Chain A
Amino acid sequence: MTFLSPGAAVIISLAVLSSLGMWLKPAADWPGRKYWVFAAPHAEMYEPVIRAWNARHSPASQVRMGILSVPAMERRLLSGFLAGTPVPDLCEAEVSMAAKFFAGPVEAIGLVDLTERLKSEGLLDRINPPSFAPWSSRGRIFGIPHDVHPVLLAYRSDLVEEAGIDVSKIETWDDFVRAFSPLMTDKNGDGYPDRYLLNFWETNGAAIELLLMQAGGQLFDDHLQPQINSEINARVLATLAGWTAGPGRIAANAPNLNAEGNQMFIDGYVLCNLLPDWMAGVWLKDLPGLAGKIKLMPLPAWNPGGRRTSVSGGTMLSFPKAGGDFETNWEFARDLYLDPVLAEQLFLKGAIISPVMDNWTAPYYDTPNPYFCGQAIGRAYINVAPDVPMRTSSSYKTLAIARVTDALIRLKRRAEQGGVFDREVLLPMAREELAVAQSYIVDKMARNKFAEAAR
């Protein structure tokens, strides 16, 4: 009698052998520090620093880096903080993750509070203050900022200069629209402009937030209370509705980090983009076709004398409470994030400005960049860096941005239905729509039984 078929026998033998092998020789656990990052370019820049660190330290203090995607890292860290699953000793978190870490009671935040350490070592004075904002909750700081990420306006200099437009005379968004509008001609006679002035769309929540912050608008105040239906926000929304609809439409949707969007810039279908420093780095690599055709200028202000920049994206280095030996982790973090050589690499490889203000006098920031028609883009970003707006770390931020986006979509629809696109006429409608968004967030916060602690 055959006990097992040959196939089953092979499968069972393999299972037994592999189990035996794993039992006899289990995977060795890394004795040193584990460090998670989400961006491969960051990891590439950190490699030499980590190699040098590991050469100087015992195995228990050596660092091994792992790259995880943002959603994977977010889920694994949250699981670790809330349910005690394994977490690394250090992690580099992206801005969208941080607010989720701060959602519950303060004792549930799984990261080490760095406030006193940053104060005692003088780092609060050395790092650009707005860079701490997204990593702070209830007056405590939970991460070391990796960047500043100021935003400038990138424009197709070849087309703009050919049209004889002098961008130095542009101070406000109204000036911008007036000066650039002659470029929106319909030469092919299809009834639509051949070009649009700005990459913006009413569904782009990140761009809406960026422009609201530039105007001085807030979604939440310093006490994390919603401030969505403010007059500043209503005025910005009323303007944005006019940018995307009706006879005064100046914007088109050219999604960033997307082939279709990139092609729209290359074709000159869209002339300007809200460009944070990190995106300038992406363009340098991904859009060689725009080399020598792009220049940067400060964002036009919402009012004369107003802020000429905003902020977009961000990363922090943080220390999970469940990680090992904090002192060694901290020493490594200082080595990494305060290293002037790394700051230089960050700029040279990614166009990212260091948040450490001591580095801002470095000569490499003044190097002319041929891609941007010889402009010293490092200096251009540093000039506006101290003025980047403060950001909220409310865990309701993502939801609030989604509802403000919905408010703009509804406002645009009302404008189109009524055939009214004038900012002053749209203003009362913008207030109504923002009131709906505000009420939604207030309701959500009120239902949260842990909100009292979160506030």
Chain B
Amino acid sequence: MSVSVNHPRWVPYFFLTPFLLCFGVFMVYPLVQSIWLSLLQTYGPEYTKFVGLDNFWHLLRDTEFHLAARNTLIYTLGSLFIQLPVALGLALLLNRPGLRGRTFFRLVFFAPSLVGLVFAAMMFALLFGAKAGLLNEMLRRVVPGFPPEFPWLQEYVMTSLIIASLWMYAGYNMIYFLAALQNVDPALGEAAQIDGAGAWHRFLHVTLPEIRPVAGFVTLLSIIGSLQLFELPFVLLDGAGPENRGLTLVMYLYQNGFERNDLGYASAIGWVLAVFLAGIALAQRRLIRE
């Protein structure tokens, strides 16, 4: 059966116009404008000087940018190699057959991700207090000879950030893993068990391949979230922290754009970050397909 459509040619374009207008005004124009901005040095929007690719060349030798990239990378690796395995471990625990209170534990582990980042950062600032912080109080009771002051937020900035984000996001990622685990056909595991596979081999050769698409998705989300890290260190350290140990790429972008009013350099940083993120997303997509 064929449906005859009899309307003027412009009608589809008419219906597309609202979307195209919004997309053009709020996506395309800012993107093009930010490319142009990245070729300028600015003091606010009114005072500008064309500098060509100088902002990008400067990024290559800007030690603060390198430090921000290094810190962001360390945090991202921490997220990948600590946070995701913990999330998967929690999901595996909650997926055990016959576990009582599964819903309760799921809520308990997931709840931290409902807390606002700024609130969590302020809470961890109290927790990591050098003298009377809760963490040090606990360690002092458990570890003999633990010093009366232990400066987490001065000396162990990245460790503190990774611990705080572990608390916040492990439960969130756990939910994805749990959903994936619950979709794994139990018959596969049983068959492997009959063939003599131990728990570790069943996990490695049955469970992991089955949850691979979800694991890939969670990994990508985690990488993107980590590369965009800003609020947590900004509030926890009241800025970039001593020796810029908590300086991240997005914080450096913010400092340049909104504290030093150089929107041009900030745009250049933003584009480098965007290209980097796009590269990671493409690589990850390819990896999952393989």
Contact = CB atoms under 8 A, between A and B. Distances in A.
A302 interface: no
Nearest to B41: A449
Contact of A103 (B129, B132, B151, B261): B261
A447 interface: yes
Given A78-B261, A104-B261, A264-B131, A450 B47 contact: yes
Contacts of A259: 126
B43 A406 contact: no
Contacts of A335: none
A263 B131 CA distance: 10
B164 interface: no
A192 B47 contact: no
B47 A83 contact: no
Sorting the interface of chain B by its residue count into under 10, 10 to 19, 20 to 34 or 35 or more gives 20 to 34
Contact of A82 (B41, B43, B130): B43
B129 A104 contact: no
Contact of A108 (B44, B51, B132, B242): B44
Interface string A102-136: 01110010000000000000000000000000000
Nearest to A201: B154
B101 interface: no
Interface string B132-159: 1100000000000101110100100000
B260 A103 contact: yes
Interface in A246-280: 252-254, 259-260, 263-264, 269
Contact of A260 (B47, B131, B244, B258): B131
A414 to B, nearest CB: 13
Contact of B148 (A103, A192, A405): A192
A82 B45 contact: yes
Interface residues of A, number: 34
B66 to A, nearest CB: 14
Interface in B40-89: 41, 43-47, 49, 51, 58
B130 A83 contact: no
Interface in B241-261: 242-244, 258-261
Nearest to A83: B45
Given A260-B131, A405-B242, A406-B243, A108 B46 contact: yes
Nearest to B243: A406
A260 B133 contact: yes
A103 B43 contact: yes
Given A264-B131, A269-B131, A253 B151 contact: yes
A11 B236 CA distance: 40
A203 interface: yes
Contacts of B259: 100, 398
B46 A83 contact: yes
B260 to A, nearest CB: 7
Contacts of A75: 258
Interface string A375-403: 00000000000000000000000100010
Contact of B44 (A78, A190, A191): A78
A336 interface: no
Contacts of A81: 44
A104 B131 contact: no
Nearest to A410: B243
Contact of A105 (B45, B47, B131, B145): B47
Interface string B90-104: 000000000000000
A184 interface: no
B237 to A, nearest CB: 10
B47 A104 contact: yes
Given A203-B154, A253-B131, A260-B130, 19 more contacts: A81-B44, A82-B261, A100-B261, A103-B260, A104-B47, A108-B47, A191-B145, A192-B147, A192-B148, A201-B154, A253-B130, A260-B132, A263-B132, A398-B259, A402-B240, A402-B244, A405-B242, A409-B243, A450-B49
Interface of B: 41, 43-47, 49, 51, 58, 126, 129-133, 145, 147-149, 151, 154, 240, 242-244, 258-261
A-B CB proximity, top 5 nearest: A82-B44, A104-B43, A203-B242, A260-B129, A449-B49
27 contacts: A75-B258, A78-B44, A78-B261, A83-B46, A100-B259, A103-B43, A104-B43, A104-B44, A105-B43, A105-B47, A108-B44, A190-B148, A192-B147, A252-B131, A253-B130, A254-B131, A259-B126, A260-B129, A260-B130, A263-B131, A398-B259, A402-B244, A405-B242, A406-B243, A409-B243, A448-B41, A449-B41
